[in-house]
Homo-oligomer: A and B are copies of this chain.
Amino acid sequence: MIAALDIGGTKIAAGLVDRTGRVVAAAQCPTRSEQGFDDGTQRIVRLIRDLQQRTGKRIEGIGIGCTGPVDPRSGTIGNAELLRGWWGAPLAERLAHEFDVSAAMENDADAVALSESIWGSGRNAQCLVCVAIGTGIGAGVVCNGDLYRGADGGHPEIGHMVLEFGAGPKCYCGLTGCWESLASGPALEAWYADGAESVSAAEICRRARAGESRAVRAVERLGRYVGLGLVNVVTMYCPDVVLLSGGVMRDAGLFLDDIRRMVHELATQVPTNRLRIDVADLAGEAGLQGAAAVWLHRFAPKETRF
């Protein structure tokens, strides 16, 4: 069994996952990073020990998917806005020591991409890009079985590439016209509300299906910008599979065909004849499977993963 930890700003999910990606037991607790790292690790250790006791299983390693920037080489948490109080904390090392097994940590978007590449609908991809579009836009790139990393293990933040310089409200990243500011859930909500009271992205999609003209236009605009961002993703990474996930993608049926057409029409300088753009399986266990995949990717030889 692999002990899997999916660490978000609000809650920590823990699970035991076998090598086929099956989650055999799971539990969770609040994150409360502001209470400090010692408090957090104590709760995490307890979660895992409880799972072990409940199932009677031994663990061979610990995989962690964590929100925000992380240093995958050292297994330490970066300065994630949502994890104040844990900045610089050597979580992987601490847990490895506590359980006397190997441990690895990655950004949660990378974790999900690894999971999709090992067990999911990206498992036959040569080059897989998993894009999560919800409150923000994040992605992981897996080529030939390995995670794309830049210098110092750097994780691309493709939600903040510029698409239409000068368009839309200024993003916290400093740009005006980055992908996240144009195609995230909040971007959809802000455009629809236009200063009036805000309505949820899901409700806007419901109204669009009912034919309300402003909602239809809002969803068309969202689809156009999701598609335009994917044009750049395809042009810059040359994937054969793109998997979309995140809250906004629950209503992908409204614009998925438009997105596919747009990518084929506008990403003309790289091969797209074998490109597949799909919505990822949105089952609730993606986070834990991702965390387990992090450990497998780091410590298990490729031929033993499946």
Q: Name A's B-contacting residues (CB within 8 A).
A: 125-127, 143-144, 148-152, 154-167, 173-175, 177, 228, 231-232, 235-241, 265-271, 274-275
Tell me if A's interface is mostly helix, strand, loop or mixed.
Answer: loop
Pick from B126, B154, B175, B267: contact of A270, CB below 8 A. B154
Minimal Cβ-Cβ distance residue in B for A172: B268
> 6 additional contacts, CB 8 Å, given A143-B150, A157-B269, A161-B236?
A152-B271, A160-B267, A161-B232, A162-B164, A162-B232, A173-B269
- The 9 tightest CB contacts between A and B, nearest first, are A150-B238, A154-B238, A151-B240, A157-B269, A164-B165, A126-B151, A127-B151, A127-B150, A161-B232
Chain B residues closer than 8 Å to A236, beta-carbon distance: 156, 158, 161, 232, 236-237
User: What are 15 sample pairs from A and B whose C-beta atoms fall under 8 A apart?
Assistant: A126-B152, A143-B148, A150-B238, A150-B239, A150-B270, A151-B241, A156-B235, A156-B236, A160-B267, A162-B164, A162-B231, A162-B232, A164-B165, A174-B265, A174-B268
CB distance from A279 to the nearest CB of B (A): 19
Minimal Cβ-Cβ distance residue in B for A267: B160
- A231 contacts B175, CB within 8 Å? yes
Per the bound structure, the CA–CA distance linking A188 and B126 in Å amounts to 38
